[in-house]
Amino acid sequence: KNKNTNKKRVGIIGSGPSGLAQLRAFEAAKNAGLEVPEVVCFEKQSNWGGMWNYSWRTGVGKYGEPIHGSMYKYLWSNGPKECLEFSDYSFDEHFKKPISSYPPRPVLFDYIQGRIKKNNVRDYIRFDTTVRWVNFNDETQKFEMVLDDLKIDKTYTEEFDYLVVASGHFSTPNMPYFKGIEQFPGQVMHAHDFRGADPYKDQNLLIIGSSYSAEDIGVQCYKHGAKSVTLSYRSNPIGVNWPEGISEVPLLTHFENDVAHFKDGTSGKYDAVIMCTGYQHKFPFLPDELRLKTKNNLYPNHLYKGVFFNNLPQLIYLGMQDQYYTFNMFDAQAWVARDFMMDQLPLPSKAERRLDMDKWLEANDKLETSFDHVDFQSDYIKDLLALSDYPDFNVDKVAEMFKEWLKDKDENILTYRDKTFQSVVTGTKAETHHTEWMDELDDSKERYLFQDENEEALEEI
């Protein structure tokens, strides 16, 4: 008989940066000599990394599950890496040399994997396994999880004392309808299915939306040779200093074949439409009473400390906020969640938790500028850091870097990725990349990390 039958069990859904942060948090406690619960992580993909695990596929995967990935080729970090650095595993420790502030996706993917490869964390993950349904049993106070082992097409059930939902929220498209779109002759798709700019070379492209995806996909298509990029906004334009070839117009009203009409009475002819209209928080494996229902914002309601589901705190959500901070925020959350699950962090009463959330929600409502948003999320990170032994980092300095980044983008959206920042973890100043971002069409790790050395070696010959 298993001698660990009395051990508490933790089920984690997803092995993206958030799920991996949770695994790492438990590993850190174990390495410190503490007894940790039994942890099992379920991942529907065949590898970890979540969004950062690029997939060429769209629609469904080889087992017929909806494809999770929304990332695309030629994707470079859209914020300085110094703003997301793990404070317990620096870029220096991983790469052994300074690198630039805006690395491409494969380089960040490599970094995410570095610290968990040092332990046997992979053993805790069941890959190719979809969490199909979760039920909370009031009598046993346990979560009953219905799991599909996709590889052998087998469904089974397991019980857990705690459930950590780290399934991400940038996967299920929010896809609006516009009158006449069914007659549009060109391609219409959502950013979730965008896999790179190549098909849009020499095309006139219409993008709907005015946030990160619209900005980044628009700029990438411009960089890789689209004839023109038009961005259509609903509330506010992105409003940066656009180069000739990219422009912003008010919201689309309707299509007449390949002609799009906009709210200000203007119109244009387009070859393709990409909806960069955001994503839905979607948890098809959770019943109504356990499901987080929220829009994409900085403080989803019902989550105490941004993680504990107030009606049932043994249900924990990671990374559900809109994100300035990413990897380091997931870490700060995961450490706090771990301490609760290891009975080291008692929570106040439900009513007190409600009051705490209300305070944050009220502050959230008052935010106006992007700088306010940065400060709000920075305060949230500080609040979390005070609760656990996750290594402290200089949050104020990171907030300053975020503000620099916002200004850089405003000034020149094509060159902001050539700027460099200083690490708050090691003090290291980033390298300038060997090639300016606008001229760099190759996003491979090999070229990014070793091109300098190759060129030097060639010069020496």
Q: Which is nearer to ligand NA7, 133 or 212 (CB)?
A: 212
Between the CA of residue 419 and those of 149, 176, 325, 401, what are the distances in Å? 45, 36, 19, 11
The neighbouring-strand residues paired with 163 are 11, 315
Six token digits for residue 146: 């219905």
Six token digits for residue 271: 């070859």
Which of ligand FAD, ligand NA7, none binds 130 (CB below 5-8 Å, type-dependent)?
Answer: ligand FAD
Which of ligand FAD, ligand NA7, none binds 234 (CB below 5-8 Å, type-dependent)?
Answer: ligand NA7
Strands (DSSP E) found in 204-323? 204-208, 228-232, 246-249, 252-256, 259-262, 267-269, 272-275, 279-280, 303-304, 308-309, 315-317
Six token digits for residue 30: 């174990």
Between the CA of residue 157 and those of 131, 149, 163, 352, 376, what are the distances in Å? 10, 11, 14, 35, 40
- The torsion defined by the Cα of 445, 448, 451 and 452, in degrees rounded to 10, comes to -140
Which of ligand FAD, ligand NA7, none binds 209 (CB below 5-8 Å, type-dependent)?
Answer: ligand NA7
HEC string of 56-85? CCCCECCCCCECCCCCCCCCECCCCHHHCC
Interatomic CA distance for residues 447 and 391, integer angstroms: 33
Q: Which residues, 6+ apart, have CB-to-CB distance to 386 below 8 Å? A: none
Q: Which is nearer to ligand NA7, 253 or 428 (CB)?
A: 253
**Candidate segments 28-36, 166-174, 290-298, 401-409, binder of ligand FAD by CB under 6 A:** 166-174
Which of ligand NA7, ligand FAD, none binds 296 (CB below 5-8 Å, type-dependent)?
Answer: ligand NA7
Binding status of residue 176 toward ligand NA7 by CB under 6 A: yes
SS3 327: helix
Interatomic CA distance for residues 267 and 288, integer angstroms: 43
Binders of ligand FAD among residues 24 to 53 (CB under 6 A) are 42-45, 50-52
3-state helix, strand, coil in the chain (%, to 5): 35, 20, 45
**Candidate segments 58-66, 124-132, 203-211, 281-289, binder of ligand NA7 by CB under 6 A:** 203-211
Which of ligand NA7, ligand FAD, none binds 319 (CB below 5-8 Å, type-dependent)?
Answer: ligand FAD
**Candidate segments 26-34, 63-71, 335-343, 350-358, binder of ligand FAD by CB under 6 A:** 63-71
Binding status of residue 321 toward ligand NA7 by CB under 6 A: no
Q: Which is nearer to ligand NA7, 41 or 252 (CB)?
A: 252
- Judged by CB under 6 A, the residue of 277, 328, 364, 423 near ligand NA7 is 277
As measured in angstroms, the least distance from the Cβ of 176 to ligand NA7 is: 3
Binding status of residue 15 toward ligand FAD by CB under 6 A: yes
Q: Which residues, 6+ apart, have CB-to-CB distance to 14 below 8 Å? A: 41, 42, 43, 50, 165, 166, 167, 168
Give yes or no for a contact between 390 and 332, defined as CB atoms under 8 angstroms apart.
yes
Binders of ligand FAD among residues 422 to 451 (CB under 6 A) are none
Q: Which is nearer to ligand NA7, 167 or 314 (CB)?
A: 167
Binding status of residue 145 toward ligand FAD by CB under 6 A: no
Binders of ligand FAD among residues 188 to 217 (CB under 6 A) are none
As measured in angstroms, the least distance from the Cβ of 213 to ligand FAD is: 6
- Judged by CB under 6 A, the residue of 326, 333, 364, 423 near ligand FAD is 326
Q: What is the pattern of x (binds ligand NA7, CB under 6 A) and - over residues 102-131?
A: ------------------------------
Strands 259-262 and 252-256: antiparallel
Q: Is 359 exposed, middle or buried (0-12, 13-18, 19+ CB in 10 A)?
A: exposed
- Judged by CB under 6 A, the residue of 16, 168, 209, 306 near ligand NA7 is 209
Q: Which residues, 6+ apart, have CB-to-CB distance to 409 below 8 Å? A: 240, 416
As measured in angstroms, the least distance from the Cβ of 78 to ligand FAD is: 4
Q: Which is nearer to ligand FAD, 113 or 326 (CB)?
A: 326
Total binding residues toward ligand FAD, as defined by CB under 6 A: 31
Binding site for ligand FAD (CB under 6 A): 13-19, 42-45, 50-52, 68, 70-71, 77-79, 84, 130-131, 166-168, 170, 285, 319, 323, 326
